[in-house]
Structure 1
Amino acid sequence: MADAEFSVIDQKIGLFGGTLLLVGNVIAMTAFLLPAHLIADDGLGPEVAIAMVLVVLPVTFSILSTLQVGGAMPAAGGSYVYGSRLISPFFGFLLPWLVIPSIWLGQLYLAFGFAEFMRFFPTFDWIPMWALMYAVMIPFIVLNVLGIRIVAQVQMILVAIIIGGMVLFIVPGSFYIDAANYTGMFDAGVGPFFVAIISLSIAMHGFNLATDLGEELENPVENIPRVLGLSAVISIGLMVTLVVVAMGVVPTEFYVENRDAGVAMAAFEFLPWWGAYLVAAAAVVGAFTSINTLYTAYSRQLMRAARDEAIPLYFAKLHPDYETPYRAILLLAIPALLMVVPMSQTTPVIMAAVLSITSLIGAIISSVALWNLPKRFERRYEYSIYKLPRPVLKFVAIASALVATVFLAGVSLELGWVLAIIFGWMLLAYPAYRYRVRWLGTHKDVDLRERMQSLHDYEEERAESGSRATDSRSDADGSGELDDGETEPSPAEE
């Protein structure tokens, strides 16, 4: 497929920089912020720790899926590409349709958490929530416009602070756990428990950043699996352990009385005053890193969709000096800035739940894409640097979709109205898609559906170079299966 009229990002980051971006994107603020709010606002108890452990299940399937598809088809805005190329053009269109409003809420959620923990410090407790939310959002919008290398350099410092603060809470805190604090579970019922799982799962849905970066990673075919593996071990281990320890060091009644910055307040129970403030600082920095990479990841999805003209090509344009998709960044940023004041008065649980519900819907779509990969792009699957055996691939696809569906059904017991709004928004996507197809065909003589079924030329070359590299290694071992001249059929031929 010939490229449309756009520029390709030329800035690159390596394995270390990519891992830091992912760790900062995943760890975020959720493990610090939500446990106390779930207890104080929703009447939950120590089952919050179990909810955090259960979140690992769908995330494991999500990582395996991302490893497989991302290793076989590295492309900027990977989630969008996989929906459109491996399922149908409409599902590619549906992803940015869901992403844009959910990321508005995602920014507000992270900014809310930042403001809450900043007010934990006496110096800042007089500043209104909305002012602190603006104070964290605006600088990172500017930072992302300036470029991926600067984003990665800033992330290096921020991630070190987060990990240090988490370890400072986890290691001493594990010696102060009282098993009695884990008793009295599930008094609030099943519905709130699923709300906890859904809300906390927002902490684990940042791994798609590895595939969304795509062309900005050095050697993406090999580095996407490496970045995912390294960041998963670091991020999941730290977050789960933090929540389990937080539930064990104090009784749940403590968080009812100390809802705001609850984990930092709990740190006073076993750390000196300066230690508790370092834990709060780690939470604040968690908001930094996630807002930082939120713009990075999802602006690439919109940029990639705009290259196909699923959304206007206007949003694919790169900044002439910084080579960043600045228009896509501003599309994600400006509406959220307009909503700061009213959203500063709400609860972060609802914002987290909405973002997680859309992520679970995306997980179901990704499961179908994974299932279709060996059929639609057989060569790339067979010669992917990371390859799930077909029976395992099918199991992961089914299990991922099943777990996401169960979680969505469970959260409907408590937040059915939220699900109804989201599904209603999804229904509106189809007439919008049909209009876009018709408009492009009439005004620009572009067949959008055909364009959204093929990779761009530079993506074809990258994927093929990865296949050839793997093929060469296989031939050296005497196990090559394809002749050098064999080429992969186009999606239409497959």
Structure 2
Amino acid sequence: MDAVAENRRTVTTARGDNMSDAEFNIIDEKIGLFGGTLLLVGNVIAMTAFLLPAHLIADDGLGPEVAIAMLLVILPVTFSILSTLQIGGAMPAAGGSYVYGSRLISPFFGFLLPWIVVPSIWLGQLYLAFGFAEFMRFFPTFDWIPMWALMYAVMIPFIVLNVLGIRIVTQVQIVLVSIIIGGMLLFIVPGSFHIDTANYSGMFQSGTGAFFLAIVSLSIAMHGFNLATDLGEELEDPVKNIPRVLGLSAVISIGLMVLLVVVAVGVVPLEFYVENRDAGVAYAAFEFLPSAGAYLVAAAAVVGAFTSLNTLYTAYSRQLMRAARDEAIPLYFAKLHPEYQTPYRAILLLAVPALIMVPPISQTTPVLMAAVLSITSMIGAVVSAVALWNLPKRFERRYEYSIYKLPKPFLKFVAVASATVSLVFLAGVSLSIGWVLAIIFGWIVLAYPAYRYRVRSLREKKDVDLRKRMKSLHDYEEERAESGSRAGRSEADETETDSDTDAETDATGTSPANED
């Protein structure tokens, strides 16, 4: 009955209690394939390829294996994209990562994602703002301004921008991504003719732990691809456009990042980055470009901070908004701005604490910030792998009629491989920063009593069964997913489904034993 139970379409079942969808508003502004691709490209490229190689070499003693680490990042990113394509194509919803954890595994895993996301996104903003400030100080006009002041100067405008709405975010992104791609190509193309292969010698002398730290830090790009499913309802025809946006953005962004790092390591000896740690890639550009070209490369790095901050609030505020619709977190954060139709309260929850943390963070290293962000991404990848494995069983019709469908044997391979790669990388990075992993897992452990308290509190104060609510899609999400079903489905099949669903008590086909 699992295949038919999840097709229940009534508001009562989709909500799981007496709260109707009318108690929150659905975002009605839409962005197309082109705009969605640009949002993802800008979100993925970020500061990482510009900022981290020099710091990994100078601060952590790595060698040319930084280039190999960047190549290996393709592994978790590829599995992440395949997983997102399959689940997102079958169940398009705003705040997709939250929805998939709660609906495809258990309500607790849905609760866990915002629990991890909020502090990690505070850190993500600070990481991007740090990179922005470092490259801004590369320009003589700004080298006298304190790091903290420059960090505020980039964070505050983009908070305001995201409150104003998704269309403005997309329009700004078109200009910004064009600058990034131009600056990267300006470094990559002429730089490839100045590579000295001797600069790639002396691989793997810094130890296993440091190498895994490089992989994990550089794999921060995994954060970026979740944006496609987190936008969900804001994409035009999301069932079709989620796969297209992911595929196009992956080819563009990952290809450019890998090439940039490979060229950056090859054009100068390692000692160069020890002496020029801050804005190292921009200083390396002076070796084969005129001054104006080097400054354009630095400008592309600065814009990389713009584009990622521009979409960071967009993506993760939608996760919080969707969790608030279920009341996994307070319903207060689901409210949209009456004029701009943005989840402004969720945006402010992500933004304000990060602003308070700017002064102390401005004195630290970006490698540690990137590593923490990537660790949380890899934990999320393990959760997504389990969700992917469960998709054909829990939501069989969603899987069968998804516009993008992995064959079941390949789906299981992707799920196992994704979880395995992430766990191996987490084990490897523990050799270098095991204390960070301990803190993160300690925070995860604290999530369970918080979840149990939330379940009990809602039941006692509002007579709401949170676990039941978090196990089924809202009615408007059911309709959207159903609209992506293949046209060849027979009327008889639908009639059978309608009759069978009345006999079911669980919209996901899960047993009570799996509720927690």
TM-score higher than 0.5 here? yes
Gapped regions of structure 1 (runs ≥ 5): none
C-alpha change, 1:398 and 1:68, in structure 2 (3 Å) is: same
What secondary structure is seen at the aligned counterpart in 2 of 1:206? helix
Confirm or deny that 1:462 pairs with 2:472: no
- In 2, Cα distance between the equivalents of 1:454 and 1:274? 55
The answer (yes or no) to whether the contact 1:371–1:394 under 8 Å persists in 2 is yes
Percent of aligned pairs sharing the same letter: 84
Q: Which of 467, 491, 494 does residue 507 from structure 2 map onto?
A: 491
- In 1, Cα distance between the equivalents of 2:199 and 2:282? 18
Q: Which of 96, 107, 131 does residue 78 from structure 1 map onto?
A: 96
Give 1:484 shift. 4.2
Match of 2:228 in 1: 210
Confirm or deny that 1:44 pairs with 2:54: no
TM-score by length of 2: 0.93
* Runs of 4+ with >6 A deviation: none
Match of 2:250 in 1: 232
The answer (yes or no) to whether the contact 2:77–2:221 under 8 Å persists in 1 is no
- In 1, Cα distance between the equivalents of 2:133 and 2:508? 51
Confirm or deny that 1:405 pairs with 2:415: no
Alignment of 1:388-399 (within 5 A): 388-399=406-417
Match of 2:273 in 1: 255
- Of 202-211 and 250-259, more deviation after overlay is shown by 202-211
The answer (yes or no) to whether the contact 1:306–1:312 under 8 Å persists in 2 is yes
- In 2, Cα distance between the equivalents of 1:15 and 1:355? 28
Match of 2:160 in 1: 142
Alignment of 1:320-469 (within 5 A): 320-467=338-485
- In 1, Cα distance between the equivalents of 2:508 and 2:406? 24
Confirm or deny that 1:154 pairs with 2:154: no
Give 1:465 shift. 1.1
Give 1:186 shift. 1.1
Q: Which of 38, 52, 73 does residue 55 from structure 1 map onto?
A: 73
- In 1, Cα distance between the equivalents of 2:399 and 2:284? 48
The answer (yes or no) to whether the contact 2:395–2:508 under 8 Å persists in 1 is no
**RMSD over aligned Cα, in angstroms?**
1.1
Match of 1:201 in 2: 219
The answer (yes or no) to whether the contact 2:183–2:296 under 8 Å persists in 1 is yes
TM-score by length of 1: 0.97
Give 1:491 shift. 3.3
Match of 2:8 in 1: none
What secondary structure is seen at the aligned counterpart in 2 of 1:487? helix
- The residue type paired with residue 59 of structure 1 is V
C-alpha change, 1:486 and 1:36, in structure 2 (3 Å) is: farther
- The residue type paired with residue 491 of structure 1 is A
Number of aligned pairs?
A: 486
- In 2, Cα distance between the equivalents of 1:132 and 1:40? 23
Give 1:481 shift. 10
Q: Which of 96, 116, 119 does residue 101 from structure 1 map onto?
A: 119
Post-superposition CA distance 1:79-121 (Å, at most 9, x none): 0000000000000000000000000000000000000000000
Give 1:322 shift. 0.2
- In 2, Cα distance between the equivalents of 1:459 and 1:486? 21
- In 2, Cα distance between the equivalents of 1:245 and 1:486? 59
The answer (yes or no) to whether the contact 1:377–1:491 under 8 Å persists in 2 is no
Post-superposition CA distance 1:435-480 (Å, at most 9, x none): 000000000000000000000010001011111xx2x1x46xxxx7
- Of 234-243 and 200-209, more deviation after overlay is shown by 200-209
Match of 2:264 in 1: 246
Post-superposition CA distance 1:185-234 (Å, at most 9, x none): 11110001100001000023300100000000000000000100110110
- In 2, Cα distance between the equivalents of 1:336 and 1:492? 37
- The residue type paired with residue 8 of structure 1 is I
The answer (yes or no) to whether the contact 2:46–2:308 under 8 Å persists in 1 is yes
